[in-house]
Copies of this chain bind each other. A is one copy, B any other.
Amino acid sequence: MVKKVLKFGGTSVGTVERIQHVAKIIKKEHEKGNQIIAVLSAMSGKTNELIDLSKKITNNFNKRELDVLLSTGEQVTCALLAGALIELKLKAKSWMNWQIPILTEGEHSNARIVNMNVKKINNFLQDGIAIIPGFQGISKIGDVTTIGRGGSDATAVAIAKLFEADTCEIYTDVDGVFSTDPNKIPVAKKIEKISYDEMLELSSLGAKVMQSSAVQTAMMYNIPLEVRSTFTDRKGTKIFEQQNIDYSKSVTGVAYSKDDAKITLLGVEDRPGVAANVFEPLNKSQINVDMVIQNISSDQKTTDITFTIKREDLLKTKEILKNNRRINYKDITQNDRVSKVSIVGAGMVSTPGITYKMFRGLADENINILAISTSEIKLSVIIDEENTLNAVKKLHTIFDLD
């Protein structure tokens, strides 16, 4: 008997017809003898629609009440799926956040699941299918909480962990995780198996198949994931521990992010705490700083600090830097049309020459590298935005991913 958590995203439950289709997928899995817990998102667009209602009242809508409002979206899809399954002569039941309950900690709109009562549902799973809303829970004092956008993935993984499920399958509107964006680079290939680390690097780099924190949780508790399409029978991408993967290729995928801007502070006074002084006010203003590169400067008393942000945050960032009395620097330069291109692969560590090969490939295409950042399984460069697709195509080819 295999216990499976099946999570269906917003497009997978976007209409009644699609919910009926999801019911058929679940029926098939149940008939194989599997115990099924289904975790659902709201219908695609629904959460935004509810947010828009709240924004008509104020952009600063009370967070407790916003959570009450938004949590209704998943309750609707859960009830509809339960009804659809019962119509297929299956035993099925929806369980709301407070009925389980799904206990969370942390503030409204950004809570995290800490516990769940599994007993009642485990009994029900003997012959029934349990349906649980993603993205929500209740707090210690019994308020409705939500766990951040895309939080249904986190719910699915938390449920897989707490119910000791054998596997957690993420049904979505793409076939799986690709070696790069298949919409832009037609030779992109679906990855069959990938490690949690690589998945994290890819998803944080723009391959938005699964929410990163959910992948992290799965990694921490070693829960096997599979990302697959609701709309085809094709196998998806399996995500598990690195040691279970046989790496024939050093690079698994090429990711890129657009709409970035790069800022360099030149001649920053070089003393302990200076980086903290630069980034603390940005963090307070919720500006998401991505890559940070600090070079030792030639005179050894000052340093240059380069970092990237979303382009839309550029003006605000510059203003915060200018008003920051705790840092001294000679000049600010900026480039508001840059992108980040990264190669990701757990096999990179053990393969020499990857770095050189990447730089050579970009040079052959006459693409100038504006900044470089590396980690164990990732190598990122900042380039002019207009060169993005060229760079991605070239790297995809030279690392044998086509």
Quick check: B16 and A53 within 8 Å, CB to CB? yes
In the complex with contacts A75-B72, A87-B57, A94-B65 CB distance below 8 A: yes
A192 CB to nearest chain B CB (Å):
35
Complex CA distance for A66 and B53, rounded to whole angstroms:
24
Residue of B65, B71, B86 near A62 (CB, 8 A) is: B86
Known: A72-B72, A72-B75, A75-B72. A84 touches B64 (CB 8 A): no
One digit per residue, 1 when the CB lies within 8 angstroms of any chain B CB and 0 when it does not, for chain A 60-87 equals 1110111011011001101110111011
Q: Is A103 an interface residue (CB 8 A)?
A: no
* A209 proximal to B (CB < 8 A): no
- C-alpha spacing A57/B144, complex, angstroms: 29
Q: How far is the CA of A50 from the CA of B83 in the complex (A)?
A: 13
Interface size on A, residues (CB 8 A): 37
Q: Determine whether the beta carbon of B79 is less than 8 Å from that of A96.
A: no
Are the CB atoms of A82 and B57 closer together than 8 Å? no
In the bound complex, do residue A75 and residue B68 qualify as a contact, i.e. CB atoms below 8 Å apart?
yes
Whose C-beta in chain B lies nearest to the C-beta of A56?
Answer: B16
- Check A69 against B62 for contact (C-beta < 8 Å): no
Q: State A358–B17 Cα separation when bound (angstroms).
A: 57
Chain B's closest residue to A64 (CB) is: B93
Which partner residue on chain B sits nearest A23 by CB separation?
B57
Residue A98 at the chain B interface, CB threshold 8 Å = yes
Determine whether the beta carbon of A82 is less than 8 Å from that of B65. Answer: yes
> Is residue A19 contacting chain B, with contact meaning CB distance below 8 A?
yes
A20 touches B57 (CB 8 A): yes
Kindly state the separation between the CA atoms of A50 and B76 in the bound complex, as whole angstroms: 8
Q: For the complex, is A388 an interface residue (Cβ under 8 Å from B)?
A: no
With a CB–CB cut-off of 8 A, which chain B residues contact A60? 87
Residue A142 at the chain B interface, CB threshold 8 Å = yes
Contact A80 B87, beta carbon cutoff 8 Å: no
Residue of B nearest to A97 (CB): B98
Min CB gap A142→B, angstroms: 6
Q: Of B65, B72, B80, which is within 8 A of A57 by CB?
A: B80
A residues 41-64 with Cβ under 8 Å of B? 50, 53-54, 56-58, 60-62, 64
A285 contacts chain B at the CB level, 8 A cutoff? no
Q: Which 4 A-B pairs have the closest CB atoms?
A: A69-B79, A68-B79, A72-B72, A16-B56
